[in-house]
Amino acid sequence: KDHPKPGVCPLRHPPTFGPCVEFCSKDSDCTDKKKCCSNGCGHECMAPYIGEK
Residue 48 contacts residue 11 (beta carbons within 8 Å) = no
> How do residues 2-31 score in pLDDT, each as one tens digit?
678 999 998 866 667 778 999 999 999 999
Residue 29 maps to a domain: yes
The Cα–Cα gap between 42 and 47 comes to 16
Q: Supply the range of the domain harboring residue 43.
A: 21-52
Residue 9 maps to a domain: no
Residue 28 maps to a domain: yes
Q: For residue 42, name the pLDDT band (cuts at 50, 70, 90).
A: very high
Residue 48 contacts residue 4 (beta carbons within 8 Å) = no
Residue 2 contacts residue 26 (beta carbons within 8 Å) = yes
Residue 4 maps to a domain: no
Residue 7 maps to a domain: no
Residue 16 maps to a domain: no
Q: What average pLDDT does range 35-41 have in this prediction? A: 93
Three-class HEC string of 1-53: CCCCCCCECCCCCCCCCCCCCECCCCHHHCCCCCEEEECCCCEEEECCECCCC
Residue 2 maps to a domain: no
Give me the number of domains the chain comprises. 1
Residue 35 maps to a domain: yes
